Amino acid sequence: MQGPAMIITCPECRRKYRLEDSQVKAPYQKMRCSGCGHIFVYEGGRPLETEEKVFTAPLPEGPSASPVKSTFRRNRKGLTALAVSILLVLAIVACGWYAWMNYMGAGNRWLKLQNIEGQETPIRDGKVFLIRGSVANGSTKPRKYVILKAKLFDQQGAIIGEHLALAGLPLTSDDVRQMDKSDIEKKIADFRKANLTAFVLPPNKEMPFSIVFPDNYSGKPKEFSVEIVESPFL
């Protein structure tokens, strides 16, 4: 003998079902139509629409609707999207930092020129302008090499000579005085042919440099300048 029952109509397909009172477990009962699969909430004699955002246990097909047992789940979708966004931002920042340091000259800010001196120096067959000093690497990475550019200026501030040089060649004034032009050129050429490790500037270390201008510059030098033009990380 069946107990008390009620007739329920699916709000989607209008299919009618007989539901025993004993199957109603709560004032707001979630149900699924076995005909069209629509999920709705049954409340005190009338069905209410609800969003299909829950997992539902499958129900056997039949002429009557049964209560649907629903389970709650965490919304992992939003967390996954947030994690992907954070990783993407970090990747963009890392690429920008690498380009800024290696291709836009920012890495040179961790290099420091120090103990710079320059003077016109007599040699055995003429004179040269010798600039000496050192470059210190304050970054945490070694430099593959350091290229310097020196300029000479006359009394009016006009440039009368420019010269590029690799850091790492130590030449003193006494060394230069004992040489002629061919000796100096050979010394510089031999240095440029040296093993690549001779040009490496380790982190937290300094390296000497010598820049020699031959006497073919025009005018009398009054001032000079030295700048770093290239210093890639190893």
**Mean pLDDT in order along the chain per 10 residues (234 residues):** 66 80 69 81 55 35 42 60 85 76 59 92 91 91 92 90 91 92 90 86 93 81 92 88
Check: CB of residue 16 under 8 Å from CB of residue 64: no
- Check residue 32 and give its pLDDT: 81
What is the chain's length? 234
Check: CB of residue 162 under 8 Å from CB of residue 149: yes
Read off the pTM.
0.55
Check: CB of residue 157 under 8 Å from CB of residue 101: no
Alpha carbons 10 and 48: distance in angstroms, whole number: 10
Q: What angle do CA 210, 211, 216 make, to 5 degrees?
A: 145
Residue ranges of domains in the chain, CATH in brackets: 5-71 (no CATH), 106-230 (2.60.40)
Alpha carbons 117 and 221: distance in angstroms, whole number: 14
| Residue labelled with tokens 């820049």 | 211
Cite the beta strand spans of 94-205 per DSSP E: 111-123, 126-137, 147-153, 159-166
Alpha carbons 221 and 198: distance in angstroms, whole number: 31
- Check residue 20 and give its pLDDT: 73
- Check residue 114 and give its pLDDT: 93
